[in-house]
Amino acid sequence: MIKFFRKIRLRLIAEHRFRKYLLSAIGEIALVVLGILIALGVNNWNLKRIDSKKEQQLIAKLITQTTINQEKVTEEIEFYHYVETTSDSILAVFKTKNVRISQEDVTALLSVLTFDYHLNLDMTILTEATENATLTLLDRDELREAIYDFKNANDLFMQRETIINEDLQNHFMGYLYEHYNFARYFSGYEYLISEDAEQSTTEITESLFFKNYIVIRKLYLEELIENIETLRLKLIQLQKLLYEEKNTSSSNR
């Protein structure tokens, strides 16, 4: 096509028809510009199609990840409530006046109040998408905000878990190693129980340190339940938006 216009221009020059030559040159330029615009349009369309495909793949991975995490959170909440209910029932014995606290009661209480807490949600896809800027593929601002809200809530929850677990290991377990006979805690070690075990149990239950720590562990548990409920709600909201985005993108194809 360009060669065709060039031949026309050469013929017009030879015939001294400069006005038509100028119009022909402008037409050739317009044709070139039009070709460039069409090429750019096709290229942009291809790039958008590729980005759209990547977005759908990311959304699918995030939906899978949030589904797994939701199951983990639900199981953890059930476990927390089990610990709370069990500890409350045992602590009720402590409230009863003139009732001697048995070693069995103390052992049962310790068995639920000395757990380490480790939720360990799967954050691999979300973390990778955040670090390599893949989240920019998501068009919806509300969805990106929900992702960051959930990630921040999980980071905060992990920080609280670490503080609570360190408090257990650094303070209470050290106290128990010195004042509590763990032979009662594990079956098969009864021969290691000393004759003054009952007296030792009474001393523990009357100890201000023990009473204070039981209160602290209960407060920690209540805090974890509150935080994990917040985390659960943010996870539900995130999954809802992911499904909405998936359905919207599918209908626009």
Q: Residues 138-160: pLDDT tens digits? A: 888 999 999 999 999 999 999 99
Q: Label residue 21 by pLDDT band (50, 70, 90).
A: very low
Q: CA angle at residue 206 from 185 to 170, to 5 degrees?
A: 60
- Could you tell me if residue 34 is inside a domain? no
- Could you tell me if residue 70 is inside a domain? yes
Domain count, the chain: 1
Structural domain harbouring 169: 52-251
- Could you tell me if residue 236 is inside a domain? yes
Q: Label residue 27 by pLDDT band (50, 70, 90).
A: low
Q: Please state, in angstroms and rounded to a whole number, the distance separating the CA atoms of residues 246 and 60.
A: 8
* Three-state DSSP state, 175: helix
- Could you tell me if residue 115 is inside a domain? yes
Average pLDDT over every residue of 91-118:
76
- Could you tell me if residue 37 is inside a domain? no
- Could you tell me if residue 247 is inside a domain? yes
- Whether residue 110 contacts residue 214, with contact meaning beta carbons closer than 8 Å, is answered with no
Q: CA angle at residue 35 from 29 to 38, to 5 degrees?
A: 140
* Three-state DSSP state, 38: helix
Kindly report whether the global pTM for this prediction surpasses the value 0.85.
no
- Could you tell me if residue 95 is inside a domain? yes
- Could you tell me if residue 241 is inside a domain? yes
Q: Each residue of 48-84: pLDDT tens digit?
A: 666 678 888 899 999 999 999 999 999 999 999 988 8
